[in-house]
């Protein structure tokens, strides 16, 4: 989604970036589906709806940021426990078995058993000399959480912008829906390409159709 030198790419991989933005879009779209019942009640009602959209994504961004921090802490704690277990192993075969359990699922498809045996022995020697894994909260954890928050918050901008630029609230609402649906397709397509899906446009269309279905149901019930 962003180049490796960009702020978000320093702390989130491409799929994480796309997922954060996608979740934000879905949250905004689900919030605006019933807006047709609100925008007809005047400018004050529309203003309250927009504040609700922004507030909803702020809350979701904070939740996603907190989950990001928790996941980072849990990941480091898991690595620290594994390292401690390897160091406390009674013998080399037991320690090598732990290393294998941690890495086999990733390396078996691309290596031979003999290659893995040599590699795990080298890894074991390295681990025994390496410092303990620090599990406390870090500055990077907080900045990564901020990146999650900003991506989710930015996903609300396409929903709000038409109401600031278009006087007719119904036209603004449908323009907002159109922008959100277009972004759903683009994010779905990009997500599929990043995940090496053979047919990214199919995934993009699936996201778009899901959004269209949600909007259609909302319109059917007066939204």
Run of H or E residues at 130: none
Which residues, at least 6 apart from 149, have a Cβ–Cβ distance to it below 8 Å?
A: 61, 62, 64, 65
Q: Is the pLDDT of residue 5 over 70?
A: no
Sketch the domain layout of the chain as residue ranges.
Answer: 9-220
According to the model, what pLDDT value does residue 37 have? Answer: 54
CA distance between the termini of the chain: 32
pLDDT above 70: residue 1: no
Tell me the C-alpha distance between 48 and 42, whole Å: 10
Q: Classify each residue of 60-77 as buried b or exposed e, where b means 16 or more C-beta atoms within 10 Å of its C-beta.
A: bbeebbeebbeebeeebe
Cα angle: 13, vertex 14, 15; to 5 degrees: 95
Q: What is the DSSP letter of 12?
A: S
pLDDT score of 105 more than 60: yes
pLDDT digits (tens, 9 = 90+) for 31-59: 776 665 566 566 777 777 788 888 888 99
Structure tokens at 223: 């939204």
Among 35-44, 110-119, 209-218, the range with the most confident prediction by mean pLDDT is 110-119
For tokens 């999650």, name the residue. Answer: 148
Question: For 137, left (φ over 0), alpha (ψ -120 to 50), or beta?
Answer: beta
pLDDT tens per residue, range 56-88: 889 989 999 999 999 999 998 988 888 888 888
3-state secondary structure string across 150-201: HHHHHCCHHHHHHHHHCCCHHHHHHHHHHHHHHHHHHHHHHHHHHCCCCCHH
- Residue 220 pLDDT grade (very low, low, confident, very high; cuts 50, 70, 90): low
């Amino acid at each position: 989604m962003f180049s490796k030198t960009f702020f978000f790419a320093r702390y989130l991989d491409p799929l994480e970036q796309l997922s954060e933005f996608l979740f934000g879009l879905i949250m905004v779209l689900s919030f605006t589906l019933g807006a047709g019942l609100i925008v007809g009640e005047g400018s004050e009602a529309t203003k309250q709806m927009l504040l609700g959209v922004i507030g909803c994504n702020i809350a979701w961004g904070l939740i996603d940021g907190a989950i990001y921090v928790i996941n980072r802490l849990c990941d480091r704690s898991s690595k620290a426990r594994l390292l401690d277990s390897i160091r406390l192993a009674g013998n080399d075969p037991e320690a090598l078995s732990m290393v294998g359990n941690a890495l086999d699922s990733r390396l078996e498809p691309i290596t031979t058993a003999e290659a893995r045996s040599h590699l795990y022995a080298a890894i074991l020697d390295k681990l025994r000399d390496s410092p303990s894994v620090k599990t406390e909260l870090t500055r990077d954890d907080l900045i990564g959480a901020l990146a999650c928050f900003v991506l989710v918050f930015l996903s609300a901008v396409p929903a709000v912008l038409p109401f600031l630029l278009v006087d007719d609230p119904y036209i603004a609402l449908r323009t907002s829906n159109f922008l959100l649906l277009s972004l759903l397709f683009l994010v779905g397509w990009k997500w599929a390409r990043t995940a090496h899906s053979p047919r990214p446009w199919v995934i993009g269309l699936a996201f778009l159709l899901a959004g269209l279905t949600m909007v259609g149901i909302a319109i059917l019930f007066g939204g």
